[in-house]
A and B are shown apart, each in its own frame.
Chain A
Amino acid sequence: MCARRMLYSLLAGLAATGAGRAAEISLPTGGTLKAVDFERHIMGLLSKVGCNLGSCHGSFQGKGGFRLSLFGYEPALDYANLTRDTGGRRINTQRPDHSLLLLKATGQVAHEGGMRFGKDGWVYNVFREWIRSGAKWHRGRGEIRSLTVTPADFAMLSDSKSLQLTVTATFADGSREDITPFCDFKIADEAVAEVSPLGLITPRQPGDTGLTVLYRGSVKAIRVLVPMPPRADPYPKIPEANFIDTEVFAKLKLMNVIPSELSTDEMFLRRLYIDTIAQLPPPEVIRDFVADKDPKKREKMIDRLLAHPLHAALWATKFSDITGNNTDALENPAPTRAKRSQMWHDWLRKRFADNVPYDHIVRDILTATSLDDKTPEEWIEFVKKVDNQAAQGFTTDYPHKKTLDLFWRRQQQVPIEQWGEKVAAAFLGVRLECAQCHKHPTDRWTQEEYWAFANVFAQVTFAPNQFSSPAVKKLADAENAARREKAPQGNNNQILLVRELFVSDRARPRPNPATNITPLPRTLGGDVITVRPGEDARVKLAAWLTAPSNPFFAKAFVNRVWGHYFGVGIVNPIDDFSLANPPTNERLLNALANDFIQSGYNIRQLERTILLSRTYQLSYVPNETNRFDKNNFSHAAIRPLMAEQVVDVLNAALGVNERFTGPEEAPVGTKMVEVGASRLNSSVAYALRIFGRPPRTTACDCERAMEPALPQTLFRMTDNTVLAKFTDRNGRVAQLAASTLTPEQLAEEIFLATLSRFPTPDEKTEAVKHLKQTANRTAAITDLMWALVNTREFILNH
């Protein structure tokens, strides 16, 4: 009936308006639209004016009884719902202006979504003309073959004038059309430039930002550069230490931005210590370093700290985040979980300490099994040994195990699609989660690709009483029987049982919910992985993933390392490689990635290259040209510390050890970055929480909250656990109080211990004055230490 009614109104419409004589519509970016096409124009506008967002009619439940496909990927559904629902009232070809679609969107009839466009604008005219000309749909006419943006790659706005972008689509039928006004434009940093809904870019202040163009699911991104005004003086010659400087400074020159001076020795040393080992340089080290006349002293210090045991511990901490070392999610019994987190951390730490090539590390995580290449007997003995060590103390032989099976061993079964998301985020820097339910709106990933990738992990098995072979089962059963025998009666779930992580030939792949067809396992956006009996799909995945030709693998890692040393990635957020998020300096990213691949994925060499660059060693003090630079590395970024760095740096300044108690108990002197557990019970837990240590529950690094918050300030000022560090019997305050240092020497020592620099003459005068005025030497030292620990200079890395 609805269809008939529509037909009637269609016919009536044709009769009334003089069939099909198209009225040309002037487009706001110039030119005219001769015929309105449903796919090319109407679908574009439905996205552009926001009708098909998830919060509006794009919701899977629809909104107000009207549903559109999310972001407009299903023209058939949208066409049907526009033309047939509500008895055809939504579209009235006879009296186009009475179409409910137009009445609602212009706010003439109450619309929860408000007014989307005005009655006298070009958008209205496009919709109206489409309706008037019969509301037709030519299936496939709008299928996009490619999209080009002019200017391509980057828009340079050097003379403070606006620039109009032009977007041209090539459709499947070979025709090309300027579809600029039908696109959506988004600029990442509106402080740098703004973009109008029609693609006109207007510069605001010097800087560099990404701009994304979206047209019906196709994404293009360019960078918008607003250079500093040209200067009278010639651009200075900046010394370059290596290829990093070449690439960074080349872009700065393009932007008329001059990099800051080289950092002072004190500045460099503090930054290097915090970045590489999460410690502060001890006062005597600062004195020696500043006095050292060796021109290679920075290089020597870099090599020394990269080889420091805490350096590997710091990376183990970061990789514990990246790989999801979430203590709470590990296997039962619960009291053993902290130790298992520690094993995980120590496994990673050993690899960073031994400088194992990055591709090997990742392969040994991705393809992990419990058994490795051991015989069942060897394996059982190893498990017994490690479990025993874990029950007795802090260190185990687990780091000597070939592969990290703990990565896959979680108490609650992990749905395979989450493995896909975790692996993509951790090792490719790609966020897939949007594609679980629909095509990724700002990236290439389809739902089909998402589920095909998930199915790579369909063989992974970790379940009670399941083992890879009868031989393993027999031994494990015997050991488990013995453990049950020994355990006290009554609490069976508190017994640590032998369990195995293995890949099974009985895979459990999942269907793509959109088609209900189960896709074959595929590399991400790549080829089908064929798995024969006895084979592990992950092995082939690892080969693809770690190959030099992989488009993400090396880049994702060098970007992580870069992000660690600069506080901001070349791609930022660091684990968000997507079409809509281009790198700030593509040549730099490529150069780093190529160098990393050439070196055989040598992590230490990558770090060394970065640290030796002048770019890393620049001062944080800006000049007139680079004051506002946030992402071109023209000066060192002032940045917050990681939660673990806060704990270790605070302890280093105050000369105390953290006490780890409870399940994560560790030997005295253990640093925060050496502790594996993500959930701690000791007094340090509160500090970690307020400084944003991630719980490691989600796939991405993004859950680490680095933003400062008021409780952090209050914590440093008043928290009892912090105040106790000032009064520690063996702490720095006590030692200095007991020393014979003069007030002048004390002042210097306290500045070196906290801010890692000598005081300025004024600061020294003030400090000495306070030390002399205050009757109680301990109190005076406490006051000074407290004051310095509460400065911004102390709590920020710079």
Chain B
Amino acid sequence: MAVVRRSDCEGFHRRDVLTIGAAGALGLSLPTFLAAQAQAKAKNGNTQAKAQGVILLWLAGGPATIDMWDNKPEAPEGIRGEFQSIDTKVPGIQLAETFPKTAQVVDKLTIVRSLHHTIPSHGPASVFMTTGNKPTAALQYPSMGSLAAKLLKSEVGVPPYVTFGDLRNGGAGLAGYLGTGYNPFVIEGGGGRGNFSVRGLTLKGSFTLEELEKRDALLRKFDNGLAGLDSSNELVDGLDTFHQQALEILKSDKTRRALDLNAEKPATRELYGNTPFGQGALAARRLIEAGVRFATVSFGGWDTHQQTFTRHKTTLAPTTDTVVSALLNDLDDRGLLESTIVMVAGEFGRTPKINKNAGRDHWARSMACLLAGGGFKRGYVHGSTDSSGMAPSSEPVTPDDIASTIFHNLGIDPHMELQTPTGRPMQLFREGKVIDKILA
């Protein structure tokens, strides 16, 4: 078959490096699938793993975290925003007043206030934050979701990695050098009413399951052209396996059930808020329960070059505040927070200096993000920025460090090596260091 053989920088065809992932998992490409089949022992139980899944609430556009989770009411005029700080459930930790509900769940959160990088441009910064690797022109790094799809044991019948809509940048959120088999399954629809479907996994309109089975019976009568080659041809054989799996998945209603928000109590749906972001986050929680490993729910509009404060007050902050608090409470109530990581972040922060349009511009040198759940401390603030929020003043961390720490908590060595299609050995997060201080 036409699949390239790989030899790497060190000359080895290191098939043994990575063949984790159960056969029958969604998104496996053929060579990996075959390798996984060959290696009967799928995976040597992740004893280190504190978490099994991740929900990334992605604030696209670059949130002004200086007006949110690292509020600076004492900073000089022209830097401090319009918002006062309020006390939270954890003594000594304050948030901007626009996050009253989140203030009540700070006891479940690690707030990282010393995150920073150097790319104030949406596309590459999104790639940096979602991959944990500084983008280069020479190689497309896989998103954390794609890595999770590859490295974590998947649940049969549900996609390992989903995104609600496409992320802003073409490269962000995708599989990069891992290959198309690890791209996310895209969840479509939604809106306030939450009619979600997974592209390729959900039958629509008159094309019912019954119709599918009828057509498939017909297909079976005609799929014999290459059938004689099954045993000798990996490709022909592999495609048949995929066909069987596709049918199983389409027939299995695990994913469909998970996406059926009507199964939730109206009160719960209410808690998440009647917004696409809220209903998406609820669907993400249900998917994680069903065995999805990584779910990204995106909420745009944070690129506030104009009217930062008005936009925060009217839509951005209330929506986010509702969703973050609802998700954390819900996960915790269900005992899922211990095994689920929640990350809330965007691609960069915004300039401490307020521009002439009452907006803030791109600023990567300081930003805050929220981490919670599986393996992270509760009620903890990590690092700080200087008095005007320009740069970290203690415990500086980078996107690589965040990604490394998340994967550490997922039981994956952040420095394990994967191979690019040219066979170049590549550590998951080369520059990343696990942030010990935020580990529970």
Contact = CB atoms under 8 A, between A and B. Distances in A.
Interface of A: 53-55, 71, 184, 186, 188-189, 212, 214, 328-329, 412, 414-415, 418, 421, 431, 433-434, 441-442, 567-568, 572-573, 576, 580-581, 620-622, 627-628, 630, 637-640, 679, 686, 689-692, 695, 697-700, 702-703, 705-715, 717-720, 723, 755, 763, 766-767, 770, 783-784, 786-788, 790-793, 795-796, 798
B219 interface: yes
Contact of B183 (A622, A711, A714): A711
A714 B3 CA distance: 21
Contact-residue size bin, chain B (C-beta under 8 Å from the other chain): 35 or more
B215 A787 contact: yes
Given A572-B5, A766-B222, A622 B232 contact: yes
Contacts of A707: 3, 29-31, 179-181
Contact of B238 (A699, A702, A708): A708
B225 interface: yes
A705 B246 contact: no
Contacts of B202: 718
A546 to B, nearest CB: 25
Contacts of B254: none
Interface in B162-179: 170-171, 174, 177, 179
B436 interface: no
A628 B233 CA distance: 8
Contacts of B123: 328
A671 to B, nearest CB: 22
B83 interface: no
The 3 closest A-B pairs by CB, nearest first: A793-B225, A709-B181, A714-B200
A414 B13 CA distance: 31
A63 to B, nearest CB: 11
B425 interface: yes
A714 B249 contact: yes
A700 B236 contact: no
B267 interface: no
Interface string B181-198: 101011000000000000
Contacts of A412: 137
Nearest to A780: B218
Contacts of B203: 718
> Max chain A CB contacts within 10 Å: which of B3, B10, B235, B425?
B10
Contacts of A784: 218
Interface string B3-31: 11111011111000000000000111111
Contact of A710 (B9, B10, B27, B174): B27
Given A638-B236, A720-B204, A703 B421 contact: yes
B171 A792 contact: no
A435 to B, nearest CB: 10
A581 B7 CA distance: 9
Contacts of A414: 137
Contacts, number: 222
B422 interface: yes
Interface in B138-181: 138-140, 170-171, 174, 177, 179-181
A54 B239 contact: no
B181 A710 contact: yes
B424 interface: yes
Most buried by B among A55, A621, A795: A55
A709 B425 CA distance: 23
Contacts of A442: 7, 11
Contact of A709 (B30, B177, B222, B243): B30
Given A329-B137, A637-B1, A691-B180, A783 B214 contact: yes
A795 B219 CA distance: 13
16 contacts: A441-B11, A572-B5, A638-B236, A640-B2, A686-B199, A697-B140, A698-B138, A702-B422, A703-B140, A705-B181, A709-B29, A710-B28, A718-B202, A720-B204, A784-B218, A792-B239
B185 A637 contact: no
A719 to B, nearest CB: 6
Contacts of B204: 718, 720
B232 A628 contact: yes
B7 A188 contact: yes
A710 B31 contact: no
Contacts of A699: 138
B86 interface: no
Given A709-B180, A714-B201, A787-B218, A573 B4 contact: yes
Contact of B225 (A188, A703, A711, A755): A755
A429 to B, nearest CB: 12
Contact of A786 (B28, B215, B233): B215
A714 B9 contact: no
Contact of B138 (A421, A580, A786): A421
A711 B1 CA distance: 19
Contacts of B207: 718, 723
Contact of B240 (A431, A689, A792): A792
Given A710-B27, A796-B239, A679 B222 contact: no
A572 B4 contact: yes
Interface string B360-393: 0000000000000000000000000000000000
B389 to A, nearest CB: 27
Given A214-B11, A433-B424, A695-B170, A705 B179 contact: yes
Given A576-B422, A709-B27, A714-B200, 16 more contacts: A186-B11, A434-B9, A434-B424, A568-B2, A638-B226, A639-B235, A640-B1, A691-B180, A697-B140, A698-B140, A707-B31, A711-B200, A718-B212, A783-B215, A788-B222, A792-B240
Contact of B11 (A184, A415, A720): A184
Nearest to A692: B180
B210 interface: no
Given A692-B179, A702-B422, A766 B221 contact: yes
Contacts of A639: 1-2, 235
B229 interface: yes
A434 B170 CA distance: 28
Contact of B422 (A184, A691, A700): A700
A418 B200 CA distance: 38
Contacts of A755: 225
Contacts of B31: 707
Contacts of B30: 707-709
B289 interface: no
B2 A689 contact: no
A568 B1 CA distance: 8
A717 B27 contact: no
A97 to B, nearest CB: 30
A637 B137 contact: no
Contact of A54 (B9, B235, B236, B242): B9
A710 B10 CA distance: 31
Nearest to A793: B225
B250 interface: yes
Contacts of A788: 219, 222
B330 interface: no
Contacts of A621: 228-229
A254 B229 CA distance: 25
B140 A791 contact: no
Contacts of B186: 686
A699 B12 CA distance: 22
A116 to B, nearest CB: 16
B180 A689 contact: yes
B170 A679 contact: yes
B417 interface: yes
B329 interface: no
B48 to A, nearest CB: 15
Nearest to B238: A708
Contacts of B11: 184, 186, 212, 214, 441-442, 580
Contacts of B37: none
B245 interface: yes
A194 to B, nearest CB: 13
A715 B417 CA distance: 31
Contact of B1 (A53, A329, A638, A714): A638
